[in-house]
Amino acid sequence: MRAFIVIATSAIMVFAMATWVLAQETQTPATVDAAAGLPEWEKIYAVFSHPRCANCHVEDDHPRWSGAHYGKTRFHAFNVQRGIDGSGLGNPGLRCMTCHFETNSAVLHGPPGAENWHLAPAEMVWFGKSSGEICAQIKDPARNGGRTLAEVAEHVRSDKLVGWGWSPGPGREPAPGSAEETYQAIEKWAAAGAPCP
C-alpha cells in the first residue's frame, strides 16, 4: 500500500510538472522576434502605464488621482484604500462601490463608474514601474492572475472595468488606442515571442 502511495504521488508530481512546463511554453514561443514584438509591446506599455490603468494598479493600498485638474498625481482622497481584507474593494463602511457605480457620473469630477469597480491585486502593479518590469509581470502567471497571454489579451478586450480606461467620463484623458487595438497588439506581441525591453 505504501509503495502504491509513493508511486501515485510521484506520478502526480510528474504530471503537475509537465503541465507547468507546458504552461510556461504557451507563455513564450521558442523563437523570439524582437523586431516584430517590441513595437507591439510599446503600444501595450503605453496603455498599461497610462494613468487610467496604472492609477488602480498600485503596489500599496492607495489608488491614485491624476490629470489636468489635479496638478501632480496624488492619493485618492477620502482615505480610500485597498481594504483590510486585501480584496481591492475598499474598507468596511467605505467600499469602492459606495461612490463608483456601473456608469460614469456625467458631472465633471463626479465619480467614474464601471462594473465591479476595484483595485487590481497588488502583485499586478504597474504604477511607477518601468516598461521592462511591467512586461515581466504581465508574462508571469503568478502575477497576472494565472492567465496565458491569450487570456490576458481577451481580458483586455472584454472586461468592462478594463474597457472603462478608453471611456473614462468627462474631464479625464482616455488610455491610448482602444480595447480592440490593444488586444491585437498583445496577440502580435505574443506571436513574436513576447519580447521585453
The binding site for other proteins (CB under 8 A) comprises 77-81, 84, 91-95, 97-99, 101-103, 105-107, 109-111
**DSSP code, position 93:** T
The least CB distance from residue 179 to other proteins, in Å, is 22
The least CB distance from residue 95 to other proteins, in Å, is 6
Residue 6 or 84 with smaller CB distance to other proteins: 84
Query: What is the 3-class SS of 147-168, one letter each residue?
Result: CCHHHHHHHHHHCHHHHHHHCC
Cα–Cα distance for residue pair 46/3, rounded to 1 Å: 56
Residue 18 or 107 with smaller CB distance to other proteins: 107
The least CB distance from residue 117 to other proteins, in Å, is 12
Q: DSSP strand E in 67-122: where? A: 74-75, 90-91, 94-95
Residue 102 or 123 with smaller CB distance to other proteins: 102
Q: What are phi and psi of 115, to 5 degrees?
A: -60, 135
> CA triplet 66, 167, 56: central angle to 5 degrees?
40
The least CB distance from residue 91 to other proteins, in Å, is 4
Residue 24 or 103 with smaller CB distance to other proteins: 103
